[in-house]
Amino acid sequence: MRLRNIPRAEGTIQAHHTVIKRPEDQRGCWRQVFGNANPIYIEIGMGKGRFILDMAKKYPDINFVGIERYSSVLLRAVEKYDTEEYNELANVRFVCMDARNVADVFAPGEIEKIYLNFSDPWPKARHAKRRLTSKEFLERYEKILPEGGTIEFKTDNTELFNFSLEQIKEAGWTLQRFTYDLHHHEELNKDNVMTEYEEKFSQKGNPINMLIAVRK
């Protein structure tokens, strides 16, 4: 992924109160970060932050952590938080980090749900291990989710979706629900919160794939 460098991104992120600067220091202590014992959900690869901010607004009794690898992208989420619509939310934090290190940042069972939305498909076969729904990443998620913890994955990329279904099966997870057309699935779409990408793709008529998998 080629991203434009934004010189002010690093300084803005470091100064913002919602950004956790040394997230590994909070491992096992995220309840203290939020100041309550509410469940913690994370989004890996949150992009510009619309989904996680809308979720935090909709579910004030759940704590949310948005993870983004690139500071220039995280900057957009921080700026969105600072708008009048979101700037009073107390149940959201941001982390700039590589998702491969989630087990260094969260303790076993500390996270109840993981959202993966429109992740990079890494189409070349030699890059399959980099896909956020690969067995390698599922093993990382097992280290931070409790038994019965879940991941929810959305994508418009059917090839990646089929790959994900196979990986979940091979990893021994339980596939709870899935659909190849989320917006026409009455039950799964009922409480669906859209991402920026999702809205754009659905307006073009692209069907959205979605699954819910339960940790073994």
Q: Among all residues, which ones are annotated catalytic?
A: 120
- How many residues are present in the chain? 216
Q: Which of 75, 164, 78, 185 shows the shortest CA–CA distance to 114?
A: 164
Q: Which of 86, 109, 142 is nearest to 31 (CA)?
A: 109
3-state SS, residue 186:
helix
C-alpha–C-alpha distance, residues 182 and 16, integer Å: 35
C-alpha 196/C-alpha 48 separation (Å) is 8
**Does residue 133 contact residue 160 with C-beta atoms inside 8 Å?**
yes
